[in-house]
Amino acid sequence: MNETATIILDGKKYELPVIIGTEGEKAIDIRKLRQETGYITYDPGFGSTGSCKSAITFMDGEKGILRYRGIPIEQLAENSTFVETAYLLMNGELPNRTELNQIRVQLNDYSVVHEDMQDFFKSYPRASHPMGILSAMVNTLRSFYPELTNTEESINKTFLRLVSKVRTMAAMSYKISRGHKVVYPRQDYTYCANFLNMMFDSPVRSYEVDEELVKALNIFWILHADHEQNCSTATVRVVGSGQVNLYAAISAGISALWGPLHGGANQAVIAMLEEIKNNGGDLSNAVKKAKDKNDPFRLMGFGHRVYKTYDPRAKIMKKMCDIVLSKLTKSDPLLDIARKLEEVALKDPYFIDHHLYPNVDFYSGIVLRAMGIPTNMFTVMFAIGRLPGWISQWKESLDDPDWKISRPRQVYIGKNRTDYAPIGKR
């Protein structure tokens, strides 16, 4: 017999179906609640609301678990590449050698951006934020590739096109913003090596690809490839539910990611470290302010909305952070402050009791800075990594037999009926 939940409203009993996921998660199916009872549920932020069934990502915030298509994130970070992980998210299985070689060729083939798009990039004011430019340019891709249909072949082609071209457009926007010559992708470089070369190669100084940094970038993008129904992913699904084209849905996801509470968190970490540095580098004062509930100051990069224990991605990124900093042997006062702050927070009972562990944003901000990525590009880096997840979630929602256009309800708290008053009587 299927499990049900019983609720009593206005003295009447109702039986609601219970849905059980493969990892034992339980959800009360309230799809017919309003129809049968006249009631709706109220859940600001949707923290207790499941918007869909998904087979892509599983996470358990209490146990610190994250898996893509069932594979632990630790195993993917250790053994996989970003391209292989992207294929896994999109197709449900890891690629075999033939499939992996095929998509590598296709990613190279799709990596070049139409020359006319450079004019769009050059038209933006130099002070424009890269995320605003990226969101607009992804939407513009629809005009250059209008043939997108909802067939499997067309979606796969668009998936590879986006994953390849967004990387190129990100590097291109950086070069143009600095007034430098655009560097084109090279066929003999891997996905991550190509990005670093497009960012840092120049006519006066050739960029030497460092495999440790390539590994670090692979891991960074793998860790950010998907994260269940977060703000930007939910946005992609909601916008996509209106049956807009994929480019428009991804553009909306990029805009949602832009916010400082979501994708901008790693950028906020650097801003916080700079604030501490400008205040004399006094960590004790910063920690004291962070503990004061009446003080608006917050330690960015600590704690997580879902994880109530150590963020599993943070453990991996911390290890990579130590390797990168040791490799580069850079002298940077912000990185010194970050290491000291991490040491304090991991030992302080207040942070331990409140589950305020360093999260992935804390370490990724440090790694990106050490690699030479400009701070205003941090969220763009996040967006490149999250692309496979967004596209996979969009495709899954498209294939969902329970698909409906998203249309949340509300609890109205405004005025009761008020008759219109002619202007002379107001």
Residue 325 pLDDT > 60: yes
| 358 band by pLDDT with thresholds 50, 70 and 90 | confident
Average pLDDT over residues 394-404: 93
Query: With 80 as the cut, is the pLDDT of residue 306 above it?
Result: yes
85-97: average pLDDT = 97
List the one residue out of 396, 364, 351, 310 whose CA is nearest residue 60.
310
Of 42 and 118, the one with more pLDDT = 42
**pLDDT > 70? residue 176:** yes
Domains and CATH numbers, the chain: 4-50 (2.20.28), 69-261+378-399 (1.10.580.10), 265-371 (1.10.230.10)
Confidence of residue 177 (pLDDT cuts 50, 70, 90): confident
Find all residues with CB under 8 Å of 373, minimum gap 6, and list them. Answer: 199, 381
Q: Is the pLDDT of residue 330 over 70?
A: no
Q: Is the pLDDT of residue 335 over 60?
A: yes
For the chain, the average pLDDT equals 91
Task: From 255, 270, 271, select the one nearest 130 (Cα to Cα).
Answer: 255
- Please measure the distance between the N-terminal and C-terminal CA atoms of the chain and give it in whole angstroms: 63
- Sign (positive or negative) of CA dihedral 323, 324, 329, 333: negative
Confidence of residue 301 (pLDDT cuts 50, 70, 90): confident
pLDDT in tens, 180-232: 889 999 999 999 999 999 999 999 999 999 999 999 999 999 999 999 999 99
User: b/e for 230-244, b at 16 or more Cβ within 10 A?
Assistant: bbbbbbbbbbbbeee
pLDDT at 37 over 60: yes
What distance in Å separates the CA atoms of residue 198 and residue 171, rounded to the nearest whole number?
A: 6
**Is 304 a residue of the active site?**
yes
% pLDDT > 70, the chain: 99
Would you place residue 261 in the very low, low, confident or very high pLDDT band (cuts 50, 70, 90)?
A: confident
* Per-residue model confidence (pLDDT) at position 148: 74
Contacts 24+ apart (CB under 8 A), 352-356: 354/303, 355/303, 355/307, 355/308, 355/309, 356/299, 356/302, 356/303
Residues 6+ apart with CB under 8 A from 406: 51, 237, 238, 241, 242
Is 361 catalytic? The answer is yes
Minimum mean pLDDT among 76-80, 218-222, 325-329: which range? 325-329
Residue with tokens 């604030």: 275
Confidence band for 326, pLDDT divided at 50, 70 and 90 = confident
| pLDDT band at residue 57 under the 50/70/90 scheme | very high
**Predicted confidence band at 417 (pLDDT cuts at 50, 70, 90)?**
very high
Within 10 Å of residue 259's Cβ, how many Cβ atoms?
14
Instruction: Say what the pLDDT of residue 1 is.
Output: 57
Angstrom CA distances, 384 to 29, 160, 168, 213, 224, stand at 35, 12, 10, 17, 9
Contacts of 108 (CB under 8 A, 6+ apart): 164, 185, 187
Specify the pTM.
0.92
pLDDT class of 357 with cuts at 50, 70, 90:
confident
By the 10 Å C-beta count (0-12 exposed, 13-18 middle, 19+ buried), 75 is classed as exposed
Q: How confident is the model at residue 407 (pLDDT cuts 50, 70, 90)?
A: very high
Q: Determine which one of 201, 224, 227, 304 is catalytic.
A: 304
84 pLDDT tier (thresholds 50, 70, 90):
very high
Annotated catalytic residue, options 201, 226, 311, 361 = 361
